[in-house]
Amino acid sequence: MAESVFDQRYRYDYIYPRGRSGETLRAIDIETENKVVVKRPAPNDAPPIRAGQEVSIKNERQALRR
């Protein structure tokens, strides 16, 4: 897959298969050159499905902070 830019800051080269929390992108922060994982709701899903994905992402973020 060709590299692309997300949010004008993250250069990603791979999108993992969709899961409960939507899409997962393997990326590099352009400003700091750190490797990152970007999780976002799948852009083409219906609003109720996207809402569920947003909840899953929020729960994962809270679990990582613990």
At 27, list the tokens. 């990326």
What pLDDT sits at residue 1? 52
What pLDDT sits at residue 22? 86
Residue whose token pair is 């992108």 = 25
Give pairs for 50-54: CB < 8 Å, separation 24+.
50/22, 52/20, 53/20, 53/21, 53/22
**Which tens digit of pLDDT belongs to each residue from 3-47?**
788 888 999 988 887 777 888 889 999 999 999 988 888 878 888
At 10, list the tokens. 């993250």
pTM equals 0.65
